[in-house]
Amino acid sequence: MKFMTVKEREEALIFNVQGEGRLVVGPQRVFLFRERLEQLKLVCASQYQYLVMKDRFGMVTHKRGPCEMFHNPLEHDSVYVENAIKIDANHMIIVYHRVKQSVERSVIRGPAIFFPEAEEWLHKFVWHGSDPQDKARMIPSSRKFTQLAAIPDQFYYNVRDVRTTDDIIITVKLMIFYGLQDVITMLDTTHDPVADMINAVCADVIAYVGRRTYAQFLEQTDELSRLTTFPQLVQRTERVGFSVHKVVYRGYHATEQLQAMQTEAIEARTRLRLDAEIEGQRQQLVDYKLEKEQARTKLRQSMEESKQNHKQKVDGLKQAHELGMKQEEHKYQLEIEDKWVRARLDLQAGEQKDAEEHLRELHHLGVDMTKYMLSQQAAPVNEEVQFVGLDRKGS
């Protein structure tokens, strides 16, 4: 016998000796006599969670959060919390819902938060996936997911052991870009579209390489990056609701012996090409030096020609200047002489005019002009010329 307290926001079950139980909701203080009290566990779900409740008869119900509930063993076999499904943008989920005797299918696209009901379940995709140790190797059923991406995706794949017409075995390396077009068609026609694409691309590569020799394959590898080379891949992806955007050829791999031979041939070709490039660069350097020397010679000649032209121009200008100066000086002298002659003539004319005026005045005064003129002439001077002879000695 004892007293027990059930606090506020708590619940408990009290069992008697016969195994009968009764629910006690707090706050409450109870007296126990030959009884046992068991606290109930409170289960809480946030706004991004929901409660999964399974009753004693197997009926399962869901309750969306935020909510809380006590796990009462008398009513529920189990009560637990599950997270809601957060669907990112460009993703979708396939939900199956039981309606009476049938099942309906719906597609929910993101971004969204999905709370499944008790009679709903998600489609689980099981596809081929890349090997973590070798990204170009696909492993069956290794990729499992419930959210289907609606954005374009890609994967690497190596088509192994492909034989040419001359019995050379090679491995062709490809990268395939694809995208989802119709999810309903995909769900109705295939359970693993990646496997379908792998089988189709293997068939296309085998058909392409099988019609060519090894040398022809090396010459025409650019065709492996064209969609027209992969008709079966394009047709198969369209049938399963996908589309191939692009196929990229990433190279090839042959046997070790053939690869060694190919490596030696590549090294030889590379060596020859490098030698040719070095010789070409050397010849270009020689040509460059000759061109620069020729240009330098032309520049010197041009500079010399410019100097000569400049000197001739300066000499010409100097001569023209000197000639101009001489012409100006001669002109000036001529002008001075002309002025001097004119002044002399003017002076002579003035003197003659004065003489005429003087004579005229004398004539008016009654002077005998003949006698006057004779008196003005100077008396003749007797000149004596003496010849002195020289002796032979020069004295």
Q: Is the pTM of this model over 0.95?
A: no
Please indicate, yes or no, if residue 270 is contained in any of the structural domains: no
The domain containing residue 141 runs over which residues?
Answer: 128-254
pLDDT tens-digit series, residues 206-254? 999 999 988 899 889 999 999 999 999 999 999 999 999 999 999 988 7
Q: How far apart are CA 272 and CA 342, in angstroms?
A: 101
Q: Is the pLDDT of residue 87 over 80?
A: yes
Pairing of strands 169-180, 153-163: antiparallel
Mean pLDDT value of segment 374-385? 59
Q: Is residue 110 located within the same domain as residue 159?
A: no
Please indicate, yes or no, if residue 377 is contained in any of the structural domains: no
Please indicate, yes or no, if residue 301 is contained in any of the structural domains: no
Please indicate, yes or no, if residue 205 is contained in any of the structural domains: yes
Residue closest to 151 by CA, chosen among 191, 183, 189: 183
Residue type, 102: S
Mean pLDDT value of segment 28-44? 90
pLDDT tens-digit series, residues 96-151? 998 888 999 999 998 999 999 999 999 999 999 998 888 888 999 999 999 999 99
In this structure, are residues 83 and 49 in contact, taking their beta carbons and an 8 Å threshold? yes
Q: Is residue 119 located within the same domain as residue 146?
A: no
Contacts of 225 (CB under 8 A, 6+ apart): 246, 247, 248, 249
Helix intervals (H) in the chain: 183-189, 193-209, 214-219, 231-239, 256-364, 369-376
pLDDT tens-digit series, residues 292-308? 899 989 888 888 888 88
Q: Is residue 119 located within the same domain as residue 215?
A: no
What is the total count of domains within the chain?
2
Q: Is residue 192 located within the same domain as residue 233?
A: yes
pLDDT band per the 50, 70, 90 thresholds, residue 257: low
Which one of 254, 276, 305 terminates a domain? 254
Q: In this predicted structure, what is the pLDDT of residue 249?
A: 95
- Tell me the helices (H) and strands (E) count for the chain, helix number first: 6, 21
Please indicate, yes or no, if residue 24 is contained in any of the structural domains: no
SS3 63: strand
For residue 155, the domain's CATH number is 3.30.479.30
Q: In this predicted structure, what is the pLDDT of residue 226?
A: 93
Please indicate, yes or no, if residue 91 is contained in any of the structural domains: yes
Q: In this predicted structure, what is the pLDDT of residue 59?
A: 92
In this structure, are residues 240 and 185 in contact, taking their beta carbons and an 8 Å threshold? yes
Which one of 254, 278, 303 terminates a domain? 254
pLDDT band per the 50, 70, 90 thresholds, residue 377: low
CB atoms within 10 A of CB 209: 23
Q: Is residue 96 located within the same domain as residue 166?
A: no
Q: Is residue 159 located within the same domain as residue 194?
A: yes
CA angle (255 as vertex; 252, 257 as ends), nearest 5: 125
In this structure, are residues 186 and 243 in contact, taking their beta carbons and an 8 Å threshold? no
Q: Cα separations (Å) of 229 from 137, 162, 195?
A: 22, 16, 19
For the ranges 174-183, 202-211, 334-343, the lowest mean pLDDT is seen at 334-343
Please indicate, yes or no, if residue 116 is contained in any of the structural domains: yes
Note if the bond before 132 is cis, omega within 30 degrees. no
Please indicate, yes or no, if residue 155 is contained in any of the structural domains: yes
